[in-house]
């Protein structure tokens, strides 16, 4: 990272050490002060039907000022010590921000040529984006 910050809880410039689990997810909310909500998508096997269903879980993670991830960013999150009641993860890396957003509209434009209703399409898009 080029930017430096004075955040003690920054994994790069501060004294915070990371260990344990590593996740990649998408930032869903950046409204909190130096905290971000990250949503992770995964597929979960349903035994009864022998198929997979989409599942997601949300984690609140510390967002150091040198990274300053914003809503829509794909982000790498690592486990650390408990920083607050709900925060036990910290954002380590911004994987991509605007790149994904520019790619998706092109795919949507192709889909619009189909005959199906627009309302259903939007529902499907959101499912696929997950
Ligand atoms: Zn920093």
Residues 36 and 90 in one domain: yes
129 CA distance to ligand 1 middle (Å): 30
Share of the chain above pLDDT 70, in %: 72
Residues 63 and 83 in one domain: yes
pTM higher than 0.95: no
Residues 70 and 117 in one domain: no
103 CA distance to ligand 1 middle (Å): 29
Residues 16 and 58 in one domain: yes
Judged against a pLDDT cut of 70, whether residue 38 lies above it is answered with yes
Residue-number span of the structural domain to which 116 is assigned: 98-130
Residues 92 and 105 in one domain: no
Residues 6+ apart with CB under 8 A from 25: 38, 39, 40, 41, 59, 74, 75, 77
Better-scored residue on pLDDT, 87 or 97: 87
Residues 53 and 33 in one domain: yes
Give how far the C-alpha of residue 53 lies from the chain's centroid of Cα atoms, to the nearest Å.
19
Res 16: pLDDT: 93
Give the pLDDT confidence of 45-69 residue by residue, as tens digits: 999 999 999 999 999 999 999 999 9
35 CA distance to ligand 1 middle (Å): 14
Res 102: pLDDT: 47
């Amino acid at each position: 990272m080029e930017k430096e910050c004075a955040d003690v809880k920054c994994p790069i410039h501060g004294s915070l050490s990371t260990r344990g689990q590593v996740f990649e997810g998408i930032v869903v909310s950046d409204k909190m002060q130096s905290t971000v909500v990250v949503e992770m998508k995964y597929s979960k096997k349903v035994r009864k039907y022998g198929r997979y269903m989409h599942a997601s879980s949300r984690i609140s993670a510390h967002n150091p000022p040198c990274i300053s991830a914003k809503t829509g960013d794909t982000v790498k999150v690592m486990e650390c010590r408990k920083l607050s009641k709900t925060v036990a993860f910290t954002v380590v890396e911004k994987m991509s921000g605007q790149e994904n957003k520019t790619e998706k509209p092109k795919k949507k434009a192709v889909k619009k040529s189909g005959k199906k209703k627009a309302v259903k399409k939007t529902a499907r898009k959101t499912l696929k984006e997950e």
